[in-house]
């Protein structure tokens, strides 16, 4: 986060092979924190079903200090044991169609209207 913000809700998006989805946050370094080993906290973990896409509002909004990092993690099941899997033998690529796969880790935040340039997020791409 480039600015302080209030986290309001999550909207995970996977396709037919999606099994589980998780949102984690690493808090910004601060007083009393071990800056070499920042604390990661899981905010939401759900079993995923494409037929049941929903937004998950927090029961109480969560303040995120500038420098906090959000992470989305997904698990997939491309096996024949997944009844939703259209073809366990197919190579799976990113795409808009349900036969393809995707990882969309959407979330809603509130920021003051006076923030100015609107640059709130810094994107980090991981290839783990």
Domain around 86:
5-115
125 inside domain: no
- Domain count within the chain: 1
127 inside domain: no
Q: What is the pLDDT of residues 33-43, one digit of tens each?
A: 555 667 889 99
100 inside domain: yes
Q: Residue 118: CB partners within 8 Å, gap ≥ 6?
A: none
89 inside domain: yes
The pLDDT assigned to 80 comes to 95
Question: Which of these, 54, 62, 4, 65, lies nearest to 30 by C-alpha position?
Answer: 65
The pLDDT assigned to 116 comes to 58
The pLDDT assigned to 78 comes to 93
126 inside domain: no
The pLDDT assigned to 3 comes to 85
Query: 86 vs 9, 16, 18, 100, CA distance in Å?
Result: 31, 8, 12, 9
The strand pairing partners of 18, in sequence order, are 76
The pLDDT assigned to 1 comes to 83
49 inside domain: yes
């Amino acid at each position: 986060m480039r600015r302080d913000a209030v986290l309001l809700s999550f909207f995970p998006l996977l396709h037919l092979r999606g099994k589980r989805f998780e949102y984690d946050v690493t808090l910004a370094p601060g007083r009393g924190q071990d800056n070499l080993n920042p604390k990661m906290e899981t905010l939401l973990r759900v079993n995923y079903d494409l037929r049941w896409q929903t937004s998950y509002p927090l029961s109480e909004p969560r303040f995120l200090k500038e420098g906090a990092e959000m992470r989305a993690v997904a698990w997939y099941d491309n096996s024949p044991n997944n009844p939703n899997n259209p073809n366990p033998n197919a190579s799976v690529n990113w795409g808009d169609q349900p036969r393809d796969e995707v990882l969309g880790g959407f979330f809603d935040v509130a920021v003051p209207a006076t923030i100015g340039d609107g640059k709130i997020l810094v994107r980090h791409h991981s290839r783990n």
